[in-house]
């Protein structure tokens, strides 16, 4: 069973508002531009965007 989004925020001790603020602080204006997102306490965010990966995406299609 896939955990709900609310459950993931609860497990991480974060909120949806926190996520929005952090993305803005990292100069991302929309989650829709993001291909992949990951966050850890140790390393923070790892974000890959569609724009940065458009050549790879085209090759796979």
Tens-digit pLDDT profile for residues 8-60: 777 778 888 888 888 888 887 777 777 777 778 888 878 788 877 777 766 66
Say yes or no to pLDDT of 5 above 70: no
Q: What is residue 60's predicted lDDT score, i.e. its pLDDT?
A: 61
Q: What is residue 59's predicted lDDT score, i.e. its pLDDT?
A: 64
Q: Which residue has the tokens 């204006």?
A: 29
Could you tell me which residues are beta bridge partners of residue 46?
A: 38
* Residue 42: C-alpha distances to residues 8, 12, 19, 38, 55 (Å): 17, 13, 16, 12, 30
Q: What is residue 17's predicted lDDT score, i.e. its pLDDT?
A: 87
């Amino acid at each position: 069973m896939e955990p709900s989004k609310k459950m993931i925020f609860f497990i991480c001790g974060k909120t949806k508002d926190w996520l929005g603020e952090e993305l803005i602080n990292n100069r991302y204006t929309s989650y829709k531009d993001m291909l992949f997102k990951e966050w850890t306490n140790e390393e923070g965010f790892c974000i890959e965007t569609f724009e940065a990966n458009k050549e790879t995406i085209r090759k796979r299609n």
